[in-house]
């Protein structure tokens, strides 16, 4: 019973925090709800016997990526004017069509997921050693591709992040 | 350690994905659209972890690591683009970016 309580509690926190994260007007409030949602999902990862994934979820998602978001929001420094703009954009009617479409998709996915049966998940721990052995065994090409992807991300972020005050060659390769 | 039915975890992942999808469609602020995409990627990662746990294989966790790398790269480029768009247009309105030229 305690197991079920833990699952439902974490699941409800994740769902509620996600709903609040996508519906706030203030970007910082939305980010904080998103951090809560990610932490709740990390709890689920622990319960599912994936301690390595849970630690990465906390460190990389709730830590690094959210701090990146926070820095971007701070650099944009959106003031009260931005919130008035958001209030104007977020009239309640805006949510009707996307909400219905997302509900339809969710109903579809949930109907499929319920076919999956009641085999237990989280029966045992998958140790990080096994994950590492798989990562650098059969999936080593994926690791190389991920490193290329991250390098491309770094180069693109550097290029886009440059100030172009003396923009003689806007878009010139040297940047 | 706790175990719960496989289908419950998949249902939760589907619901989180739908919430992120609704956010992507409804919001006009670029920052919130990126946050909604994060929720969707996270839901996909949750589905992989639940499946890894169901079959007790590490492959699902490997896929979660790849999703993590994709999310990090996407956020870095997306936020840099958001800063550039705000510098040149003074707004984060996605509907205003249709004035962009090559």
Quick check: is A171 in a domain? Answer: no
A49 and A122 in contact (C-beta within 8 Å)?
Answer: yes
Q: Hey, what are A165's tokens?
A: 């005050």
Note whether A48 contacts B49, CB cutoff 8 Å: yes
Note whether A47 contacts B2, CB cutoff 8 Å: yes
Say whether both A78 and A144 belong to one domain: no
Nearest in space to B93 (alpha carbons), one of B25, B31, B38: B31
Does this model's pTM top 0.80? Answer: yes
The residue of chain B nearest to residue A93, with distances taken between CA atoms, is: B26
Note whether B2 contacts A2, CB cutoff 8 Å: yes
Over chain B, what is the mean pLDDT?
A: 89
Over chain A, what is the mean pLDDT?
A: 86
pLDDT at position A169 over 50: no
B100 vs A: CB within 8 A: no
Identify all chain B residues contacting A45, using CB atoms and an 8 Å cutoff: 46, 49
Residue A41 pLDDT: 95
Identify all chain A residues contacting B30, using CB atoms and an 8 Å cutoff: none
- Give CA–CA dist B18/B36, Å, rounded: 10
Among A31, A77, A102, A112, pick the best mutation site for testing chain B contact (most B Cβ within 10 A): A102
Tell me the domains of chain B and their CATH numbers: 6-98 (1.10.287.3510)
- Give CA–CA dist A115/B83, Å, rounded: 44
φ/ψ of residue A109, rounded to 5: -65, -40
**Which of A18, A121, A153 is nearest residue B73 as measured by Cβ atoms?**
A153
Helix B6-26 to helix A27-47 angle, to the nearest 10 degrees? 170
Q: What is the pLDDT of residues B53-68, one digit of tens each?
A: 988 899 999 999 999 9
pLDDT at position A54 over 50: yes
What percent of chain B has pLDDT above 90?
59
Quick check: is A37 in a domain? Answer: yes
Q: Domain of A19?
A: 2-126
Quick check: is A66 in a domain? Answer: yes
Residue A94 pLDDT: 84
Three-class secondary structure of residue A122 per DSSP? coil
Model confidence at B28, pLDDT cuts 50, 70, 90, reads: confident
B83 vs A: CB within 8 A: yes
Burial (0-12, 13-18, 19+ Cβ within 10 Å), A74? exposed
ipTM, interface predicted TM-score of the complex:
0.91
Higher pLDDT, B18 or B101: B18
Residue B42 pLDDT: 95
Say whether both A22 and A94 belong to one domain: yes
pLDDT at position A64 over 60: yes
Q: What is the pLDDT of residues A122-153, one digit of tens each?
A: 778 888 999 999 999 999 999 999 999 999 99
- Give CA–CA dist A122/B4, Å, rounded: 7
Model confidence at A165, pLDDT cuts 50, 70, 90, reads: low
Say whether both A85 and A135 belong to one domain: no
Q: Which alpha helices (DSSP H) does chain B contain, by range?
A: 6-26, 30-55, 59-89
Quick check: is A153 in a domain? Answer: yes
């Amino acid at each position: 019973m305690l197991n079920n309580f833990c699952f439902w509690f974490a699941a409800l926190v994740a769902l509620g925090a996600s709903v609040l994260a996508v519906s706030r007007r203030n970007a910082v409030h939305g980010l904080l709800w998103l951090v809560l949602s990610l932490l709740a999902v990390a709890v689920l990862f622990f319960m599912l016997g994936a301690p390595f994934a849970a630690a990465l979820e906390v460190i990389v998602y709730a830590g690094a990526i959210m701090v990146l978001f926070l820095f971007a929001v701070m650099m944009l420094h959106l003031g009260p004017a931005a919130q008035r703009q958001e209030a104007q954009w977020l009239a309640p009617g805006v949510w009707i069509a996307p909400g219905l479409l997302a509900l339809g998709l969710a109903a579809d996915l949930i109907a499929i997921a319920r076919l999956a049966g009641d085999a237990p998940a989280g029966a045992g721990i998958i140790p990080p050693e096994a994950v590492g052995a798989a990562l650098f065994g059969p999936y080593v090409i994926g690791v190389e591709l991920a490193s290329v992807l991250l390098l491309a991300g770094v180069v693109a972020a550097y290029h886009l992040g440059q100030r172009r005050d003396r923009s003689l060659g806007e878009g010139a390769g040297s940047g | 350690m706790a175990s719960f039915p496989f289908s419950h975890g998949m249902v939760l992942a589907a619901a989180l994905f739908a919430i992120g999808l609704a956010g992507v469609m409804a919001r006009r602020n670029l920052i919130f659209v990126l946050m909604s995409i994060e929720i969707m990627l996270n839901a996909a990662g949750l589905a992989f972890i639940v499946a890894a746990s169901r079959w007790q294989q590490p492959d699902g966790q490997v896929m979660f690591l790849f999703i993590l790398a994709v999310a990090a790269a996407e956020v870095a480029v997306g936020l840099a683009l958001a800063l550039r768009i705000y510098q040149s247009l003074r707004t984060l309105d996605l509907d205003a970016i249709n004035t962009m030229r090559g």
